[in-house]
């Protein structure tokens, strides 16, 4: 097994994986901000900045900043960002604007306008990329059950209000027909097929189904095996 941590780990020649550690990202982010500020501001201002940086908003910004670094990097042709539940994703989209307020509070409206504008523009450019359907794809992943469908549909509407069009729905853990040999599994599969039709009609988007595997999908071989079960809902 290849250990995946806070630095990109090579899985194959053209695939890398990283797990963003929010605590570690926060520490690095805070130190970078303070190091850049030393020599430019008074000790009182630095103390005020450090106090302002000790906030939940800064922790979220630190994780988002890591994500931004990967998008800005020229090392990767495609970046796949697997977020927490969709509410957290929507929160990430608000962060650049919260960050603008944070910079304002730390530095003051009259000081270092160029730095503030450059930082704010950097995050606004990233949001533009996320909202560009030719450069980014937003997919919702759900289980074919009533509550996940409702939550995902609401998320799609919230994303649309944020200027982001969902382009794909992924229905996960679909029971393969050949394992449904008793009434229990036959009924569960029948229910899943009903909800797959509902997903197709309600979302009016391409729906990709992913079969339930016997083992947890870890490693390239199982990933390839899972890929062989993919299919579009008609």
Give the pLDDT of residue 149. 96
pTM recorded for the entire structure: 0.80
pLDDT digits (tens, 9 = 90+) for 117-174: 766 777 778 888 888 989 999 999 999 999 999 999 998 998 888 888 999 999 999 9
The domain segmentation of the chain, as residue ranges, is 9-131, 138-232
Q: Which two tokens stand for residue 73?
A: 């990097």
Give the pLDDT of residue 109. 44
- Return d(Cα 69, Cα 201) in angstroms, integer: 38
Give the pLDDT of residue 33. 79
Task: Look at the domain 138-232 and name its fold.
Answer: Rossmann fold (3.40.50)
Give the pLDDT of residue 102. 58
- Return d(Cα 127, Cα 162) in angstroms, integer: 10
Q: Which residues of the chain have pLDDT under 70?
A: 84-116, 118-119
Give the pLDDT of residue 91. 64
Give the pLDDT of residue 173. 96
**Which residues, listed in sequence order, are joined to residue 171 by a DSSP beta bridge?**
142, 209
Query: If DSSP states are collapsed to H, E and C, what string results for the chain?
Result: CCCCCCCCEEEECCEEECCCCHHHHHHHHHHHHHHHHECCECHHHHHHHHHHHCCHHHHHHHHHHHHHHHHHCCCCCCCCCCCCCHHHHHHHHHHHHHHHHHHHHHHCCCCCHHHHHHHHHHHHHHHHHHHCCCCCCEEEEECCCHHHHHHHHHHHHHHHHCCCCEEEEEEEEECCHHHCCCHHHHHHHHHHHHHHHHHHHHHCCCEEEEECCCCCCCCHHHHHHHHCCCEECC
């Amino acid at each position: 097994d290849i250990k995946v941590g806070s630095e990109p780990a090579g899985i194959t020649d053209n695939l890398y994986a990283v797990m963003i550690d929010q605590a570690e990202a926060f520490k690095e982010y805070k130190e970078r901000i303070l190091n850049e500020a030393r020599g430019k501001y008074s000790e009182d201002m630095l103390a005020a900045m450090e106090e302002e940086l000790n906030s939940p908003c800064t922790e979220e910004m630190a994780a988002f900043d890591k994500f931004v670094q990967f998008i800005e990097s020229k090392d990767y042709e495609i970046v796949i960002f697997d977020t927490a539940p969709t509410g957290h994703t929507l929160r990430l989209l608000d962060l650049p604007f919260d960050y603008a307020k944070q910079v304002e509070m730390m530095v003051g409206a009259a000081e270092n306008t160029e730095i503030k504008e450059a930082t704010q523009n950097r995050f606004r450019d990233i949001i533009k990329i996320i909202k560009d359907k030719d450069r980014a794809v937003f997919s919702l992943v759900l289980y074919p059950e009533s509550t996940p469908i409702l939550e995902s549909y609401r998320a799609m509407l919230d994303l649309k209000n944020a200027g982001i069009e969902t382009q794909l729905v992924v229905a996960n853990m679909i029971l393969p027909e050949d394992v449904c040999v008793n009434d229990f599994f036959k009924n569960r599969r029948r229910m899943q097929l009903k909800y797959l039709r509902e997903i197709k009609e309600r979302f009016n988007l391409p729906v990709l189904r992913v079969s339930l595997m016997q083992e947890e999908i870890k490693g390239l071989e199982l990933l390839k095996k899972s890929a062989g079960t993919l299919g579009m809902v008609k």
